[in-house]
């Protein structure tokens, strides 16, 4: 397949299929509607499963059921819809089921807006569901990277038996770019899903139960310890980030998704002002690439965190920075995407945007 011009949300849908998606369950919400629209046609034409659920809550529980039955399952939503799915996400994580969740962020809080935003960083990386669990979260910056990540996501979910979230904002969902669906993807050795509830005839002598209930305190603690070990392994293996122009920078911008694209233009603007600026681009938001911050050159004067929100990732940057460098924050919300010139101004007036 040669390069094609494609809208982000449709590319997400097709990439999921290329990644082996067997089933989609979802509920309409702007700005991700092209994902279910595309799949409603594709899945039916290819003998796969598509159900438009009665709510996000129902959709994520259908995901639980289908994932528990051994399928590769996708759901997709946006901010308030992801909030509703969080009940199901903690059950999925607790029962150690693999699935892929696509989150196309819009403005908040509440009904907020339908314009692009990065206001759901905390929702994605901290989760709103109950208990000690993590969702593996990747935040690509281009439609091409979204496709490549989505194609790999089902393998990662299956490998760790854990939900994987692809987090983009409404801008990436709605814009069009030239993309290639045939770029090679790293495949992992995946054991058979001999734990799935498919009927005992498929695994004689053994009853498979999908469950997250452990009433005995010691059993639940052992379960949580086992999950913690898994999350440590994910942190070790799946932490992803990109260092851009990081040869002895004067300042470092920390940005992900759409904002890292804006920051790339800011580098060029500031070069003309004789300022050398690098970018740390977290790709995995959980696990957060703390180690990237150990690689910053000693002449760096500060970190400018920029987000399309009032500042959420900044907490992870503060943790990773461990008090070494001054930190400033520049963010816009409500659906406004900062211009490269705004970021350049923020770097040049670093003290003005400095945070404690």
Positions that interact with other proteins (CB under 8 A): 22-23, 25, 49, 51, 53-55, 57-59, 61-71, 73, 87-88, 91, 95, 197-201, 204, 207-213
Choose between 61 and 125: whose C-beta lies nearer to other proteins.
61
Q: How far is the CB of 62 from other proteins (least distance, A)?
A: 4
Q: List the Cα angle 148/59/116 in 5-degree steps.
A: 55
Give the C-alpha separation, 258 to 103, whole Å: 14
Q: How far is the CB of 59 from other proteins (least distance, A)?
A: 8
Q: How is residue 5 written in tokens?
A: 């011009």
User: 185 by DSSP, 3-state: which?
Assistant: coil
Cα distances from 20 to residues 16, 99, 155, in angstroms, run 7, 11, 9
Q: How far is the CB of 215 from other proteins (least distance, A)?
A: 9
CB atoms within 10 A of CB 274: 7
Choose between 66 and 344: whose C-beta lies nearer to other proteins.
66
Give the C-alpha separation, 76 to 49, whole Å: 14
Q: How far is the CB of 120 from other proteins (least distance, A)?
A: 22
Choose between 43 and 279: whose C-beta lies nearer to other proteins.
43
Q: How far is the CB of 17 from other proteins (least distance, A)?
A: 16
Choose between 51 and 220: whose C-beta lies nearer to other proteins.
51
Choose between 70 and 108: whose C-beta lies nearer to other proteins.
70
Cα distances from 316 to residues 58, 126, 133, in angstroms, run 32, 11, 17
Q: Are the CB atoms for 319 and 290 separated by under 8 Å?
A: yes
The full length of the chain comes to 356
Please, which residues have CB within 8 angstroms of residue 354's CB and are 6 or more apart in sequence? 302, 326, 327, 328
Choose between 72 and 106: whose C-beta lies nearer to other proteins.
72
Q: How far is the CB of 73 from other proteins (least distance, A)?
A: 7
Q: How far is the CB of 87 from other proteins (least distance, A)?
A: 6
Q: How is residue 199 written in tokens?
A: 């009927």
Choose between 25 and 286: whose C-beta lies nearer to other proteins.
25
Give the C-alpha separation, 243 to 221, whole Å: 38
**Dihedral sign computed on CA atoms, order 181, 182, 188, 194:** positive
Q: How far is the CB of 250 from other proteins (least distance, A)?
A: 51
Q: How far is the CB of 57 from other proteins (least distance, A)?
A: 7
- Residue written as tokens 């960083």? 121
Helix (H) or strand (E) holding 86: helix 79-94
Q: How is residue 272 written in tokens?
A: 């003309």
Give the C-alpha separation, 41 to 277, whole Å: 46
Q: How is residue 319 written in tokens?
A: 């943790």
Choose between 175 and 210: whose C-beta lies nearer to other proteins.
210
Choose between 84 and 305: whose C-beta lies nearer to other proteins.
84
């Amino acid at each position: 397949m040669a390069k094609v011009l494609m809208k982000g949300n449709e590319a997400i849908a097709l990439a999921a299929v290329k990644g082996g998606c067997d089933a989609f369950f979802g509920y309409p919400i702007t700005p991700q509607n092209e994902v279910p629209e595309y799949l409603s046609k594709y899945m039916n034409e290819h003998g796969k499963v598509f159900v438009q659920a009665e709510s996000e809550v129902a959709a994520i529980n259908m995901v639980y059921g289908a994932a528990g039955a051994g399928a590769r399952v996708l759901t997709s939503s946006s901010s308030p819809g992801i909030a509703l799915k969080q009940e199901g996400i903690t059950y999925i994580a607790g029962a150690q089921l693999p699935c892929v969740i696509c989150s196309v962020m819009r403005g908040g809080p509440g009904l907020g807006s339908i314009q692009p935003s990065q206001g759901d960083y905390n929702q994605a990386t901290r989760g709103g569901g109950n208990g000690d669990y993590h969702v593996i979260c990747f935040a690509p910056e281009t439609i091409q990277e979204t496709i490549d990540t989505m194609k790999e996501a089902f393998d990662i979910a299956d490998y760790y038996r854990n939900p994987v979230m692809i987090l983009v904002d409404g801008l990436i969902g709605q814009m069009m770019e030239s993309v290639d669906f045939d770029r090679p993807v790293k495949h992992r050795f995946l054991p058979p899903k001999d734990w799935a509830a498919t009927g005992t005839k498929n695994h004689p002598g053994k009853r498979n139960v999908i469950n997250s209930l452990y009433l005995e305190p010691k059993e639940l603690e052992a379960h949580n310890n086992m999950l913690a070990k898994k999350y440590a392994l994910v942190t070790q293996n799946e932490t992803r980030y990109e260092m851009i122009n990081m040869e002895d920078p004067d300042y470092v911008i920390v940005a992900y998704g759409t904002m890292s694209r804006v920051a790339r233009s800011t580098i060029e603007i500031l070069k003309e002002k004789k300022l050398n600026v690098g970018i740390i681009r977290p790709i995995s938001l959980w696990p957060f690439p703390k180690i990237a911050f150990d690689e910053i050159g000693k002449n760096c004067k500060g970190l400018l965190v920029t987000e399309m929100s009032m500042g959420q990732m900044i907490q992870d940057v503060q943790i990773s920075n461990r008090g070494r460098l001054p930190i400033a924050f520049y963010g816009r919300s409500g659906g406004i995407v900062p211009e490269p010139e705004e970021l350049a101004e923020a770097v040049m007036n670093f003290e003005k945007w400095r945070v404690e």
